[in-house]
Amino acid sequence: MSSEADFEALQAKIKAMPNVQYPFVDVWDFQCALAWMIFSEDGNSSHVERSMKWEQEKLGVTDDMLHVAVKKSGGNISRSGHYPITEEIRTKLEAACINLN
């Protein structure tokens, strides 16, 4: 899953997510993943869309970068929760043509 077509499919998947609000680091069960909060069209409900490891790698986001983001915000991999991304992760996502505005 490392072809240009896979990368384009990943970009299309993210862009097609309705009502994407923001990316963040999701920590759960001693694991972290790049994730997005997705809201329903009426705004009454939401769910978390977690990236798969290969998707994160295609975006240039490593596990180390996610761990740094968690630590910078005062979190710990042993505490489940949502943590803000770092400027480094934001730059990687923007370089992958993911609009974060």
- The series of mean pLDDT values per 10 residues for the chain, 101 residues long, is 69 62 89 86 78 90 96 94 94 76 54
Q: State the pLDDT at residue 15.
A: 64
Cα–Cα separations (whole angstroms), residue 37 to 3, 4, 5, 14: 27, 26, 25, 11
Q: State the pLDDT at residue 1.
A: 45
Q: State the pLDDT at residue 75.
A: 94
Q: State the pLDDT at residue 60.
A: 92
Residue type, 90: R
